[in-house]
Amino acid sequence: MKTITSRENPGFRQLRTVAAGKERGRALLDGIHLCEAWAERGWPVLACAFAEDAAGHAEIAPLIAAADRLGADLLALGRPLMAQVSQLDSAAPIVWVVAPPTADLARLAGRDAIALDGVQDPGNVGTMLRTAAAAGVKVAIAGPGTAGFWSPKVLRAGMGAQMLLDCVEVPDLGAALDTLGVPVIGTVVRGASNLYGFDLRGPRAWVFGNEGRGLSAAIDDRLDERCTIPHSGAIESLNVGAAAAVCLFEMQRQRMAG
């Protein structure tokens, strides 16, 4: 275990870089819940930083021990330094630095998926990952312009959903959809069939678009099916996160009904 007391320490500076989402291939799990979710998967941990005065706490000590078993460098920090690493309003007493897993799209062919086409708001992206996990969808694909699945704000909004999904970020969303090999369905504001008229018992790749412009032209052209979500008409459209919840839970409802 190393004790860090200075902001100039190279280990501390690297923690800050990861916390800001500026180190490619690294992510910061900020707080007890995210660390516990990662530990349940048994994936390697690169570094574990914790508040020195919290090391013996009933919730913290097991996570330090787990990080040690999973190969982490252990870094003890004073509370003022932890406050500069943790991104939470009330600084977390423990954070883990990890390397997000990568998934082979070809291996995921034939499965249900959500695909995000330029969804920029981290809160929306994290909410959609949580919704997908709750609805039994196991694959999430981020196309260009989508907030990174492992970025700090998306991790906080996802509340550990990333650890339950195969998360893939791709440069070409259309090619990724081709690789999945399942019907691609998207929501549009008008000019399509009612969601509740679709038979959704077979695998689907659900595509959700940017908060302002919706689906890009290239992805809209790639759709096999288009649906609309019926509503009162008092507003033009639903928030993309709400739309995803309606669609995915309608799919789950149909499958549970047989």
In this predicted structure, what is the pLDDT of residue 55? 95
pLDDT for res 1: 87
Which pLDDT does position 232 carry in this prediction?
A: 77
18 pLDDT above the threshold of 80:
yes
pLDDT at 234 over 80: no
For the 105-257 domain, the top CATH level (class) is alpha beta
Q: Decide if pLDDT at 235 tops 80.
A: no
Q: For the domain bounded by 2-98, which CATH number is listed?
A: 3.30.1330.30
Average pLDDT, stretch 124-134?
98
Task: Give the domain ranges of the chain.
Answer: 2-98, 105-257
Please check the confidence at residue 233 and state whether its pLDDT lies above 90: no
Q: Provide the pLDDT confidence category of residue 157 given band limits of 50, 70 and 90.
A: very high
The pTM of this model reads 0.92
Residue 231: pLDDT band by 50, 70, 90 thresholds? Answer: confident
What is the overall mean pLDDT for the chain? 94
Single-letter code of the amino acid located at 233: G
Do 2-98 and 105-257 come out as alike in CATH topology?
A: no
